[in-house]
Structure 1
Amino acid sequence: MDLLENNIIKLCILVRTRTMEGGITKEMEVHVPRRLGLPSGVSFIVGSIIGSGIFISPKGVLLGTGSVGLCLVAWGVSAVISFCGALVMAELGLLLPKSGGPYIYLLKAFGNFPAFMVVWVHAVVIIPASLLVKSLTVAEYISRAAMDDCQQTQGWTKIMAAFVIISVTIVNVLSVQLAARTQILFTVIKVGGLLVIIGGGIYQLFIGHTGILDTGFEGSSTAISGYAAALYSGLWAFDGWGNLNFVVEELKNPRRNLPLSIGLSMLLVVVVYMLVNVSYFTLLTKDEFLSSWAVGEALLAFLFLSLPGNVGSIINMTGFISWATYGLVMVAHIVFKFRSDTKDIPRLIRVPIAVSLVVLVLCLYLVVAPFLDGLHTEYAFAFSVLALGALLYFPFIYFRFSLPGSGFVYQLLQLFLDVAPPQHIKE
């Protein structure tokens, strides 16, 4: 479990303290110290990307493509899309070097409403769904190791997943140091698992056993919506390439370390992921691959554990929302190229507009293609979340309507979470 989900809000805002001098109250900004160097930046991104996705997503990619050859192509396309998106994020991170990532870029480019919607979907869907999938992965492996087929039920898996979520929350609340050590432990475990898989695949190739790699493009799917589902799964495994932008104010020498961290980490992850997938195909038959849990039965979130669903639908739902958001970020990148207040700002990295246009077109495909087969439940849920966010924004944010006692609740949450609005946000 990585710490980004738990600390994202604290890392994106500046805490303010008050001092009294001569009876006058003064506010003093407390800036987050720059503690992350290049090695820390690379490990931050790699730790954010490599997680349960590489164990879960391969089944979804193969289901959507139908063949080994097309599956590997889908992984390659996912890597290219992610790398292009990372390049754009690197330029935006240097152009607007404030913590907050897409929120900051959309706020600057389009104003409050799109920026609010980004925060809304991250808080309500993307981060909870990510935590859910990770928790269900851990729960499934624990139940398979500790129980036989007769004892293992969805009920036990749900209970274990809830226990994992509660445990991670308690660890993060008790101690940042304990949480960091726990993250290191899980990182070692998951990277160790990947190295074992890669080692097994290399050994199989060394002795001349190619497994199902020889089948190539046999059985390739022709369904356009299936390709979108495959890319959702592949891109889910790469998700995290823009996470360093959320904490860019903690990065030492960001003009140098931000682009280098993103470039080096993406190169490392792409190599590892391609080796892992080749190893999967040398170690498993196609039937074994598709029947293996590593994507097993799941549910929508800790708060929605009573609702039936599967990890594939969760990935599709979050992929739909995430890539709609990334599409807006690509538009913002293009806008900044022409706006008078940003077009002439010196940039260490200048990503061509063609790159953001290519990613934007792919974002549009990923948003539109799933509806070619009709409206599925996960996409209806995504639209309902977006609609609810819009309904909440206009009365409570735009028109500043407040419920009785809401001010006390806000102050209580700020004291409890040790956060406050940054000074640059207009009251």
Structure 2
Amino acid sequence: MRKLLVVLMVLAFASTALAVDVKLNGFFKVKGGYFQNKYFASDDTQTEQWWEQDGEVFAKFEVEKGTAVFVRTEFHDETWKSPDGGADEDITVERAWMMHDFGSVAVHAGLMSGGGWSHSFGNDVGGKYRVKLTSKLPMGSLVAFIQKNAENGYGLAPTDDEDSEKDDSDTYAVGMKMKMGALSVEPLLVYTNNSAAVMDGDDDGMKKTSLDVGLAGDFGALGFEAELDYDSVTTDVAGAEDYNLYGLYANVFMNMGNLTPGFIFAYGSTDEDANVGYDFDDDFDSAIILGDELGVGGGDDLTGMTLYALYLNAKLSKKAKASVQYAYATSNWDSDTTASGFANPEDGAAQELDVVLSYKITDAVGYKVQFAYASVNDDVKDDADPAYYASHELKVSF
């Protein structure tokens, strides 16, 4: 708790004693959950019940026009177990970076959000050390950055390998966000040289080239979003194989006043030799149980799978909203893999029904309830019992 008190004291001091405009926002939420038969057993099913909480404070220190420092602090993101009295390790500074706008280009430097582009498909956003440049274009904007993933060439002792600098891991990227009438196009090219994967003072390691293209369109009542993500990896890691993966995503929806029906298609390829599959990843949340909670296929969300989903979002009143989704997923894995999570991956399939209800109690306080039902079929687990999930959450935003 000491760290949090220090942060709050710094913010209070900065807003009064310095010529700095401080803007704060954040949230605090408490959630209760229930899970039955999480791993689709056919008998002796287990039940889990728990409470968890999370809180964040985001601060923008605007020193002058076009110059700012950003800080995001997270505190006590945890499942309720035994209180530890507010140990320091439960309070973390997740983001800390600065920005200056030179006019034609803005420079951002420090620990900022990375790992996401365009839509949530394939995204796993987290803290990344970057120097990023952004510039406005006639049709949109340009972004480029260098990112440090691992540093092994700094602070060397005299006896250390003189070539340890070659054991770093760095990422280089350039992308554009363009608006052409009703169509948005967002291409991003990324190259990562991960020499830290093989610590031999050489450029050996793992090299990854990615092309991510996001699309979106707004044609009156009809809208869509889509994304293609292609990854090519070469490696010198012992026992590892080179591989290529790609993911496809499309979401088509119709705005009908208080109702928005839609259809989602998502595909993740596999490479059986390398035993890897394309992961829809942590931010996508394809389905509550199969994707968000279990990550069927071996990743953070569905991995090496094909998803078909029908959904309906409804505005029930000024304060109440509801959404219903039916999802059906099939496996793209062969039967000889160990990564899919199915007993017979070649014929693996699963389905899920999700219901989410949310109510805005006040402008700052919201309440959300989630229900989910899922079942699997892989020609081996034909008699597996279904899984059930329920949760409710109270959240204060400021």
Could you say which structure has the larger radius of gyration? 2
Q: Which has the higher strand share?
A: 2
| Superposition TM-score, scaled by structure 2 size | 0.21
Greater relative contact order structure (CA < 8 Å, 6+ sep): 1
Greater per-residue helix proportion: 1
What TM-score does the superposition give when structure 1 sets the normalisation length?
A: 0.20
